[in-house]
Amino acid sequence: MKMKRFFGLFMLIVMAAACNSGRPSGTKALAVKPVKVESADCQRGIDQCAALWRAEDGTQADFEAFVKEWLAPTPEARYVLFEKISRALEIFSTQANQLTIELGRPTVLAEGEPGEIDYLLSSYDATAHLSDDLFANKLAFITVLNFPHYTLEEKNQLGPGWDRLQWAYARLGDQFTERVPASVSQAMTAARSAAEAYVDTYNIKMGHLLTEEGERLFPEDMSLLSHWNLRDELKSNYADVPHANEKQEMIYRVMERIVTQEIPAAVVNNPEYDWAPYSNRTWKDGKEVSLPAEGDVRYSHILNQYHTYQELDRWCPSMPTAIVRNFEGSIEMGDREVEELFIRFITSDQVRRVGALIAERLGRGLRPYDIWYDGFKSRSAISEDKLTAETRRRYPDAEAFHRDMPRMLRNLGFDPAEAQFLADHIVVESARGSGHAWECVGRTESARLRTRIGAEGMDYKGYNIAVHEFGHNVEQVTDLYHIDYYPLAGVPNTAITESMAFLFQVRDLQLLGYGRQEIDANATLDIFWGMYEIMGVSLVDMYTWRWLYGHPQATASELRDAVLSVARDVWNKYYEPVLGTHDSPLLAIYSHMLDYPMYLPNYPIGHIVHYQLEEHLAKSADDAAFATELQRIYRQGRLTPQCWMQGAVGAPISVDPILAAVSRILSGE
């Protein structure tokens, strides 16, 4: 399960939002002095232009002439500029997105084995020079001059009083807040591409895992991607299947070996060796062999990305770290605000009480992997084999899933015409990795659902992930093609697009014909327990990056040790009291820590938003009303998260609704 991807000029803010200087920190004074005018709004744009202006852009006289020529004299002239600049940005973004899609096909789609040249081409960043070009030809300056940037605090304060056009103007003002050299952008893309390639090929050959007695618990041909498929296989064994708990214990041990990097490097994605993860012994052709451990390869990918962000930091004095840019710039919630939200939840008495309920249901003491307890879902009573037989019958290939999309949307209450429109703007492709949703950024292209499909068809695990990504795609098409102003296309942050994906994913059985799924007590407890799990994972990710900024000269092996220490500390403080096992490093298993640093907090925020949306949507009288209200909510577009939530459900982002609901459930109300 991967994130929604943001490409094109419109998402430069993700990389370095709200950096307000065109020079690295520590350089000399401004190249020009701002021109003074009476209008405060105009002065804001002039001041921001001056802060970005460099000597190579012109002299003081050139700057003053530029302001005189390009400052829109009337609201009507400003609107004309807005429309033309918006259209240009959409064209730039669309073309860059198409280049990225086509060059990346060999590495992300299941279309033969990619070669080194494919990985090289896929790392190309079509937008790397675009910012430089648009500052050079002055389009960026024209945009800043007439559509200045507002801080997150200002947006949250002023936004409730803005109309749609004012919001669109403000979002246009977010596009040129920094001047990052192309070489820095390219280095970031290359580091991320290398991490993605590592993650997307990190398969464990389950049929070659051995117990200490030499027994094989998994099918010969089972190959599971870390961590997504390993986690989902573990979850599937909460059903009544042979050797269920033995399988869970073995997967947990595999995960520990991956996190600690004790796993033999040669067993990854390689069926030539048998491996006993408990003793860490290996065999080839029945003969025991000694293989070197992976060491610190996993953590070198985090470190490589950190070094590229260090270089970016120099160009963003007002948001001088990746932490600030990620939370205040991209998520648009401060990291301390997010941390407090998570800790309030995971230290709640409700967590302890739900943990006790799970232990009672399982009839045993809890183990660390019970953070993925799956018994609150109705599908846990349905065997994995039965569900897989059904999904393989329905979806032998990607095209079959695509053909069924209109029916699935009608099942959720979408009007037939809208269901067909949405399906017509989504392309389904067979993925090399676990799958992801790739957004459409221009109104001439389709969103893409990349999903993993085996030779026998789509198994249930793949189907569940595909439904999640389908939810992303529906949101992506809805808030692009049905938005009033292009700068408002999308949602406030990736956490909120995750909430749309969760809305679909929890209805996966409904889409298979098992009856309408609503947020009842079981579903509420399932969301609640999922939030508990992913909040701990997210804190490990966040604390890892705080450690990196405190230890800028760290080596990969030092980072490995630090991550293990962080993961164990978070576990001991917030999870051992509920799940037991001192010093478990399990919370460091998530692959997004490697290829998308600090993306993980989007998931728990998405769960919080998801539950608030579910409570709100439960008021809908029928499926048609559900779909209509869902579309209204997503057509709000890119407001700030708190303004968006107020418009969606009439309340801010909060864990209080689900904590209160769980208290009622546990009390039998």
pLDDT at position 525 over 60: yes
Contact status, residue 189 vs residue 103, Cβ threshold 8 Å: no
pLDDT in tens, 179-203: 888 789 889 989 999 999 999 899 9
At 631 the three-state DSSP class reads: helix
What is the pLDDT, as a whole number, of residue 24? 47
Task: Kindly state the average pLDDT of the residues 416-432.
Answer: 96
Q: What is the mean pLDDT of the chain?
A: 91
Query: Structure pTM?
Result: 0.83
Q: What percent of the chain has pLDDT over 70?
A: 95
pLDDT at position 27 over 50: no
Contact status, residue 580 vs residue 366, Cβ threshold 8 Å: yes
Residue 17's closest CA among 185, 186, 174? 174
Q: How many residues does the chain have?
A: 669
What's the count of helices (H) and strands (E) in the chain, helices before strands?
30, 8
The span from the CA of 10 to the CA of 92, in Å, is 9
pLDDT at position 258 over 60: yes
Backbone CA torsion sign across 479, 484, 486, 492: negative
pLDDT in tens, 359-389: 999 999 999 999 999 998 765 567 888 999 9
HEC per residue, 358-390:
HHHHHCCCCCHHHHHCCCCCHHHHCCHHHHHHH
Residue 177's closest CA among 160, 211, 213, 152? 152
| Burial classification of residue 273, based on how many CB atoms lie within 10 Å of its CB (0-12 exposed, 13-18 middle, 19 or more buried) | middle
pLDDT at position 464 over 70: yes
Q: Domain coordinates of the chain in residue numbers?
A: 9-179, 199-298, 396-515
- Calculate the alpha carbon distances from 463 to 394, 453, 506 in Å: 10, 9, 12
Number of neighbouring beta carbons within 10 Å of residue 635: 13
Contact status, residue 615 vs residue 520, Cβ threshold 8 Å: no
What is the pLDDT, as a whole number, of residue 472? 95
pLDDT in tens, 345-355: 999 999 999 99
Helices within 482-555 (DSSP H only): 494-505, 508-511, 521-550
Mean pLDDT lowest for which of 21-25, 41-45, 96-100?
A: 21-25
- Highest mean pLDDT: which range of 5-19, 188-202, 268-282: 268-282
What is the pLDDT, as a whole number, of residue 379? 58
Helices within 179-316 (DSSP H only): 182-200, 228-236, 244-260, 297-313
Query: b vs e for 409-429, b when ≥16 Cβ sit within 10 Å of the residue's Cβ?
Result: bbbbbbeeebbebbbebbbbb
pLDDT at position 140 over 50: yes
Query: Any idea what the Cα angle at residue 110 is, between residues 109 and 116, rounded to 5°?
Result: 75
